[in-house]
């Protein structure tokens, strides 16, 4: 007996985005292997970033007076390497290419390579970065262990 649509079942895949978010104003459909902006090939799909975080990063990339650009926390905020828009069935989607990050704070905090001295330095860098954001008139919508990223050595933002 052929299977009808009513027989099809979908099981939740841990970490996968919800299909309901693929609608106008929602996610842009992307597949591994897709080429974006004739330059960027999709090789993996990561957990979603919240759009307000990306807007903060975009806004911080705008030129500022010298006194603000000399802020000691400026280097703690990653700036986009490139930005473009995708037009799709669900609307216009801003895209930002960023410096690769190695891991988040939650992942590294369980490592034996995370002594107290390192935690103190990271706390100082985080404080400077947040102070810089505040000096630019922005606030972060929700700091957590999961959205604090560490950059690959030699590729930190300039």
Between 64 and 82, residue with greater pLDDT = 82
Residue 5 CB partners (closer than 8 Å, separation 6+): none
For the record, the structure tokens of 64 come out as 């500022």
Strand pairing category for 101-104 and 82-88:
unpaired
pLDDT, tens only, 1-32: 455 556 656 666 666 677 788 889 888 888 88
| % of the chain residues with pLDDT over 70 | 62
Measured from the Cβ of residue 31, the count of other Cβ atoms closer than 10 Å reads 7
pLDDT band at 136 (very low <50, low <70, confident <90, very high): confident
pTM strictly above 0.95:
no
In 3D space, the residue among 125, 124, 136 whose CA is nearest the CA of residue 56 turns out to be: 136
C-alpha span between 59 and 133 (Å, rounded): 10
C-alpha span between 59 and 30 (Å, rounded): 25
- 121 pLDDT exceeds 80? yes
Q: Please provide the average confidence, as pLDDT, over all residues in the chain.
A: 73
């Amino acid at each position: 007996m052929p299977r009808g649509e009513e027989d099809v079942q979908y099981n939740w895949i841990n970490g996968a985005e919800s299909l309901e978010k693929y609608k106008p104003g929602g996610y842009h459909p992307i597949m591994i292997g897709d080429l974006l902006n004739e330059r960027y090939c999709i090789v993996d799909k990561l957990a979603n970033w919240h759009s307000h975080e990306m807007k903060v990063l975009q806004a911080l990339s705008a030129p500022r007076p010298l006194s603000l650009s000399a802020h000691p926390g400026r280097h703690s905020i990653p700036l986009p390497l490139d930005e473009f828009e995708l037009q799709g069935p669900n609307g216009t989607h801003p895209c930002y290419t960023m410096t690769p990050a190695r891991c988040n704070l939650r992942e590294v905090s369980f490592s034996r390579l995370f002594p107290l001295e390192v935690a103190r330095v990271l706390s100082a860098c985080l404080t400077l970065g947040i102070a810089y954001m505040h000096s630019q008139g922005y606030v972060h919508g929700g700091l957590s262990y999961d959205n604090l990223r560490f950059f690959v050595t030699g590729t930190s933002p300039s």
